[in-house]
Amino acid sequence: MSVQELNTVFAKETFIGKRVTKPDAPDKATGRTVYINDMVVPRMLYGKILHSGRTHAKIVSVDTSAARALPGVHVVLTGEDIPELRFGPTRDNVPLKAGKVRCIRDEIAAVAAETEAIAEHAIELIKVEYEDLPAVFSPSEALREGAPVVHDDHPNNLSLHYEFSHGDVEAAERDSDIVVEHRFEVPYVTHCCMGPGCVIADFDTAGRLTIWSQTQYPYNFRMDLAPALGIHPGDIRVIQPPVGGAFGSKLDVYPFEPVCALLSRAAGRPVKLTFSREEEFINSPTRQPVEFRIRSGVNMDGALTFRRVDALLNNGAYTSWGPTTPVIQMRTFTGHFRVPAVEYHAQAVYTNSVYAGSFRGYGNVQATFVTASVMDMLAEEVGMDPIAFRLRNAQSSGEVTPQGSVLDDCRLAECIETAAEKTDFLRKHAEYAQARTRPGRIRRGIGIATSIHNAGGAKIHKSDGCGTILKLDDYARATLITGASEIGQGIDAVLTQIVMEELGIPKEDVTIVNNDTALGPWDVGVHASRTTFIAGNSALRAAKAARQQILNAAAKQSNVSASEMDLRAGHVVQADNGVAIVRLDRLLRQMHFAEEPELVMVSDYYEPNSVPEDRNHFGNLSAAWAHAAYVAEVEVDTETGEVRVLKMTAVQDVGRVINRLGIEGQIEGGISVSLGYALSEQLKMREGRVMNPSFRDYKVFTAPETPEIEIHFIESDCSEGPMGAKGIAELPAIVPAPAVANAVYNATGIRFFAPPLTPEKVARAIHEAGQPAAD
Amino acid sequence: MVIEYYAVPGSVAEAARLLCGGRATIVAGGTDLTPQTRSGAKTFAGTLVNIQRIPEMHGIACDGGRFRIGGLTTVTDILENATLAADVPVLVSAADHFASSQIRNAATLAGNLCNASPAGDMCIPLLLLDAEVELASWVGDEVTLRRLALAEFFTGPGKTQMRSDELLTAVEFDRPADEFRAIYLKSGPRPALEISTVSLGAAANVSGGSAHGTRIAIGAAAPTPLRARATEKLVEGRRLDAALIEQAARAAVDEVSPIDDVRASAWYRQHLTAVYTRRALNHVAGN
Amino acid sequence: MSPAIDIAFNLNGRTVQTRVAPAMTTLEMLRENFGLTGAKLACGEGECGACTVRIDGRTINSCLMFAADCDGREVQTIEGLASVGSLEVVQQAFVDFGAIQCGYCMPGMIMQARYIVDRHAGSGGELTRDDIARGLEGNVCRCSGYTKVVDAVAAVVLGEAG
């Protein structure tokens, strides 16, 4: 060791809260990243699926002879070729359908061929004879006596249902000064991942499956996929390559993946199956549409008295996660703002429509559109402004909601106050409301919305944990293997920062591995805004353990104790003055080649201290809760009905910012999705068919429509979170939409109960309201 | 149909000869042809003729007060042409509302007109300008040209007067007078990337407060882009005051026959027709 | 059988030759004949811009352009933007400003961003954020919300101006 080294001094540097660039960004910027959609595996065949395109019909016959005869076709499978292998949360789905079809997606046959073009041609050659059956598309129709039955084992078309109650809602209704009832209807929207659905499957000679999948939950995916193939989950290896987005669309098993595996098994070759964009629009699970009826009570002093919510869910033809969103919807209806008495009922009903899965926000998008709109309406009823009314009912730290959400770090009031102050809300709100009495073509409006969301995971499974394996090599390069998945959200950057912080090594010396179930430790999946919190905590504990091991070893060969040391810039240093003691890589080699050798390789499994709900939906489901307040400023053209969002102000309770670039990116991206929900996105269904399966007619937000965005973080150091951080990424996709709807009300005096607020919808409502003519 | 023969003619004559017999598909930028053939809406003929390498079909020229825009002129070429910006800004405005930068760079004027979408953005300003299309074909042993008024060119959604052996080589119109005022309006919160719910253009030579040579063209509100002739007649030579403009708005609504489709209802298209007629005429009148 | 068409063109600075089917798109040719998978198939109908490449200096949706028409042209893809071992200015800005999340749309977005900057260069005028956003209207992104993309491009414009 050189004398020069020993005299070097390293100041304490922290990377938490900084703008640390995403490790995989350079490769993505140069087009070097190989996404699953880009992958080619040797000897690979191409798979394609024949979808029924019918909503309800008996399959009379399927003639695959012409398809089989087409040169280049290796395998053709139909529902008759495989045993009935049921999968899905309620085991009501099968990979290939036999007997009858229940919605347009239904997978009748599949082909594996040498090129995608041959596979597509073969699909066209398959002749299916159907006998159409009467079909039903709306839940209320499907509930009627004599309605067509979608699944024989559910003769009344009833699927999942949820009930919760706390306090005496009837008594509260009687005692309330004001009781109002409203109905809302929220639509089918879809994720629009830029990377369309894609899967590659390959069986080895022992019959074990390797599946390259876009799945967001690789470990439990094995468990859910196995029954669809009739194999043991332990014989499935899931590899998740880089993906073009997920947003919750890949949290379940959907038929195209087991179909691909079945093709591969039959062909004895790897098979890759990709959706066209049109297939993606039609077949990707949607957000759950809901019809709400909500009765709310309030007293003239501004206190909420009760909420009673009845939710009717279109289950579609098969059950995925959409009909389970009441679990999270409930948390907002019962726990957002203090409501002494609450009742929630939800019923999912089978129809011949397409079916919903999970989508960023998971029920809270729907619930918050309702609650945030109702809060504004109730405020008006009691003559309070939207800010004062919300503050009147906001909880404080330490309160526990009727469902047992423990709000130990409740920043709701602070979010509301900050949002109001930063946007000059009250003055503008009053001014724009006043302006409604005067003629004018372009009207401005300002609106606020708030919500709560689980920020420390959500214990909806037996474990909500995540594992980490961390090792350092002889060159002080760290590899962190996490069970979490990088799906674009930036967990690679966050985990890198945690390792940098604890071990004092530069970003370039950290590799995150996060995508292979044969290598990695278990994680329940990327959902519920849990990854920074839970994978972060696991990584942090592993990094601390590694740090301790290193400092202990350094202390043995020094006259400084471990507790007086720190790791900085690739060196072990004295914590008080930063003087270098030994280079880290040198120390690691010394440890490795010592008489009693040791490698630094540690593991950790972190389980958050949340509890699953009991049968009555009671329990502290998440290890932390977070709030947000968003303010939207809009301009409405009262003639064309066009709504332009001028500015979004986001105030989020985040605990602690770990990666400033990443957290801002999550907020800005969530806003874009939520504004689409508010103003332009809708899968237009006609009798169970998707009428707009293309970007041409399904309008996502584009760059010129994007408003100015101002972000404020409330950082209060969540005690449970890694470095104090809370999970945040769903709230930005939840809260902006009702803020926009409330702003449109401020501008026009017209309330909308069914997003999206398209130009036609707004123009028609203004026209029917007989607004004063333009200047 | 399988493509059996691919040709890249270097002149209008060569192209016209290839189109003889009417068994050819013409490709330029591909911005309409590719999605239509991939979806099955159109099938290829036996011969694919790539016309992108015909120099005489490029170019924007103004000769003796008459503009000639070659069929292969892209929407970007129109958007960035300084002479058009000075003399015919309404055409440049429509180009600015066209799809996206990438589409504009590839989409040709001929392609847009021959695609004959009822919503076709470039058609509207050209109708205001009383444009003519030039069609070339091979007759006997030479190129024959014929000209048609654009207003007569469209016969239905996706249908034109152009024969299967013809090529749209150029669009021509007279430079408008100094008193010519025109505007192009297109619906939707997006500036461009949008199939119009309704698009509308209005133009007139305004002098002494009255409008002469009024033209009103409406897109996406009828089977073809149309000239609202009854409305034009109503306002011709008169002062464009608020009362007349209101009448004109109602008249325009009577002239369109919009449908309900996945993008909008007939009601909304009629509503926008009225709104845009008002706005456009107010602009033209200088209000 | 469809005829195979032999074409030759300049691809990312190199002269190349290949054979394409008549109805093949430029995107298919780039990905299948040359293994250049940067440009992505995300919609196949010119609505999302993920396939954006540059032909004779202009950006186009390669999913719409007939491959055969590349003959004799200059084609630039995302892989040709930077020299080996470094990032080009726009690419670096996208990294530095955190514009990239899942990244699937980014090759197309970056190609379009470079085009916007090049079109503006030397024009002497101002390129506002609104101008940049308009220039990107044909590029759909579902992750970023576009704000940091515009930030990155604005920074490049400022940097290249000064």
The long-range contacts involving A330-333, CB below 8 angstroms and separated by at least 24 positions, are A330/A162, A330/A164, A330/A367, A330/A403, A330/A617, A331/A364, A331/A401, A331/A403, A331/A405, A331/A452, A331/A454, A331/A621, A332/A364, A332/A367, A332/A368, A332/A371, A332/A451, A332/A452, A332/A453, A333/A307, A333/A309, A333/A367, A333/A370, A333/A371
Closest CA to C158 of C71, C93, C83, C108: C93
Closest-approach residue (CA) in chain B for A764 = B268
State residue A771's pLDDT score: 58
Average pLDDT over residues A500-519: 96
SS3 B250: helix
Structural domains of chain A sorted by starting position, each given as residue range(s) with its CATH number in brackets: 3-33+465-606 (3.30.365.10), 37-133+196-242+250-283 (3.90.1170.50), 290-458+615-769 (3.30.365.10)
Helical (H) or strand (E) element with A762: helix A759-769
**Tens-place pLDDT, residues A572-611:** 999 999 999 999 999 999 999 999 999 999 999 999 999 9
Question: What per-residue confidence (pLDDT) applies to B194?
Answer: 77
pLDDT of A673 strictly over 70: yes
Region of A565 please: left (phi>0), alpha (psi -120 to 50) or beta: beta
- The fold of C89-161 is DNA polymerase; domain 1 (1.10.150)
Q: Which residue has the tokens 């129709």?
A: A141
- The label of the residue with tokens 């703002």 reads A337
* pLDDT surpasses 70 at A773: no
When the pLDDT of each residue in chain A is averaged and rounded to a whole number, the result is 96
Q: Which of A239-248, A405-414, A711-720, A765-774 has the lowest mean pLDDT?
A: A765-774
C14/A29 Cα distance (integer angstroms): 21
Distance separating alpha carbons of residues B86 and B106, to the nearest angstrom? 24
pLDDT at A9 over 80: yes
Which two tokens mark A94? 């099968």
How large is the C-alpha radius of gyration of chain C?
A: 16
Residue A381's region, left for phi above 0, alpha for psi from -120 to 50, else beta, is alpha
Q: Which two tokens stand for residue C129?
A: 């954020």
List of E strands, chain C: 5-11, 14-20, 52-55, 58-61, 74-76
The tokens for A179 are 């009781």
> What is the pLDDT at residue B35?
94
Residue B188 to residue A702, Cβ atoms within 8 A: no
Residue A731: band (very low, low, confident or very high) from pLDDT cuts 50, 70, 90:
very high
Q: Is residue C161 pLDDT above 60, yes or no?
A: no
Please report where in the chains the tokens 């420390």 appear, as a residue.
A456
Distance CA B51, CA B53 (A): 6
CA count, 13 A, side-chain hemisphere, A240: 30
Secondary structure letter of residue A33 according to DSSP: -
Q: Do C104 and A30 touch (CB under 8 A)?
A: no
A696 chain-B contacts, CB cut-off 8 A? 195
Is B195 an interface residue toward A (CB < 8 Å)?
yes
* Tokens matching residue A401: 């909601």
Mean pLDDT for A375-401 is 98
Q: Is B119 on the interface with A (CB under 8 A)?
A: no
- What is the spatial distance between Cα A221 and Cα A224, in angstroms, rounded to a whole number? 5
Shortest Cα–Cα distance, B152 to chain C (Å) = 30
Number of C-beta neighbours around residue A200 at 10 A: 25
Average pLDDT over residues A704-719: 96
Interface touch A696/B275, C-beta < 8 Å = no
Q: How many angstroms from the chain centroid is the CA of residue B129? A: 10
Cis peptide before A756 (omega within 30 of 0): yes
Torsion of the alpha carbons at C69, C70, C72 and C77, rounded to the nearest 10: 160
Among residues B13, B40, B44, B10, the alpha carbon closest in space to that of B26 is found at B44
pLDDT of A682 strictly over 90: yes
Secondary structure of residue A452 in the 3-state scheme: strand
Q: What are phi and psi of C139, to 5 degrees?
A: -120, 110
* Amino acid letter, residue A210: T
For every residue of C100-131, DSSP letters joined together read: -SS-TTHHHHHHHHHHHHHHHTTS-S---HHH
Asked if A759 and B189 come within 8 Å (Cβ–Cβ), the reply is yes
Closest by Cα among A315, A319, A314, A310 to A346: A310
**Is a pLDDT exceeding 90 seen at residue A289?**
yes
From C31, C43, C101, select the one nearest A275 (Cα to Cα): C43
What is the spatial distance between Cα A288 and Cα A188, in angstroms, rounded to a whole number?
6
Nearest chain A alpha carbon to B191: A704
Give the pLDDT mean for C100-124. Answer: 94
CB contact under 8 A, A29 and C104: no
pLDDT tens digit sequence for C6-25: 999 999 999 999 999 999 99
Q: Name chain B contacts of A699, Cβ cutoff 8 Å.
A: 190
What is the per-residue pLDDT for A6? Answer: 66
What is the spatial distance between Cα A384 and Cα C116, in angstroms, rounded to a whole number? 49
Please report where in the chains the tokens 């200015």 appear, as a residue: C89
- Say whether domain B180-285 belongs to CATH 3.20.20.70: no
Mean pLDDT of A480-488: 96
Give A360→chain B minimum CA distance, Å.
25
In the prediction, which pLDDT does A340 show? 98
- Angle (deg, nearest 10), helices C89-96 and C147-161: 130
Q: Name residues of chain B where pLDDT drops below 50.
A: none
pLDDT the model gives residue B21:
82
CATH of C5-80, one of 1.10.730.10, 3.10.20.30, 3.90.320.10, 3.40.50.2300: 3.10.20.30
Neighbouring C-beta atoms of residue A183, cutoff 10 Å: 12
Q: C-alpha dihedral over A661, A665, A667, A669, to 10 degrees?
A: 180
CA distance A52 to chain C (A): 22
pTM greater than the 0.95 cutoff? yes
Give the DSSP H/E element, type plus range, for residue A304. Answer: strand A304-316
Instruction: Decide if B193 touches A, using CB distance below 8 A.
Output: yes
Tell me the one-letter amino acid at C15. Answer: T
Residue-wise DSSP of A350-401: E-SS--B---TTTTHHHHHHHHHHHHHHHHHHTT--HHHHHHHH---TTEE-
Interchain CB distance below 8 Å, B195 and A696: yes
Measure in Å the smallest separation between the Cα of C7 and chain A Cα atoms: 22
pLDDT of A202 > 60? The answer is: yes
Q: How far is CA A569 from CA A13, A500, A566, A592, C147, in A?
A: 9, 9, 10, 21, 33
pLDDT digits over C81-109, tens only? 998 889 999 999 999 999 999 999 999 99
What pLDDT is recorded for position A775?
37
Q: Please indicate whether the domains covering C5-80 and C89-161 agree at the CATH topology level.
A: no
What's residue A52's pLDDT?
97
Read off the amino acid at residue A294: I
Query: Residues of CATH 3.30.43 domain(s) within chain B?
Result: 5-50
Q: Phi and psi of A333, rounded to 5°?
A: -60, -35
Structure tokens at A125: 């050659």
B interface mutation test: which of A636, A640, A642, A684 has the most B CBs within 10 A? Answer: A640
pLDDT surpassing 80 at residue A503: yes
Encoding tokens for residue A279?
A: 């297939």
pLDDT of residue A2: 52
CB < 8 Å from C in window 23-82 of B = 27, 29-31, 34-35, 37-38, 44, 48, 50, 52, 76
**Cβ–Cβ under 8 Å, residues B207 and B285:** no
| Residues, chain B | 287
Tokens standing for residue A138: 């709306």
- In single-letter form, the type of residue at position A383 comes to G
Delimiting residues of CATH 3.30.465.10 domain(s) in chain B:
57-174
CB-CB under 8 Å, B34 with C63? yes
Q: Tens digits of per-residue pLDDT, A538-580?
A: 999 999 999 999 999 999 999 999 999 999 999 999 999 999 9
pLDDT computed for residue A646 by the predictor: 98
Q: Collect all residues of chain C within an 8 Å Cβ-Cβ radius of residue A242.
A: 102-103
Fold of the CATH domain B5-50: 3.30.43
| pLDDT score at C1 | 61
Q: With the C-alpha atoms ordered A713, A714, A716, A718, is the resulting torsion angle positive or negative? A: negative
Query: Tokens 């919903």 appear where?
Result: A356
- How confident is the prediction for chain B on average, in pLDDT? 95
From the options 3.30.465.10, 3.30.70.360, 3.90.700.10, 3.30.300.100, give the CATH code of B57-174: 3.30.465.10
Chain C CB contacts of B31 under 8 Å are: 46, 61, 64
B271 contacts in A (CB within 8 Å)?
A: 763-764, 767
Where along chain C do its domains lie? 5-80, 89-161
- Structure confidence by residue, pLDDT tens digits, A239-283: 999 999 999 999 999 999 999 999 999 999 999 999 999 999 999
Tell me the mean pLDDT in the region A461-470.
96
In this structure, what DSSP letter does residue A322 have?
G
Q: Does A117 touch chain C (CB under 8 A)?
A: no
**CA-CA distances (angstroms) from residue B240 to A17, A613, B133, B246, B286?**
62, 70, 31, 10, 9
Strand A158-166, strand A178-186: pairing: unpaired
> Which amino acid appears at position A704 of this protein?
P
- Separation of alpha carbons B69 and B125, rounded Å: 14
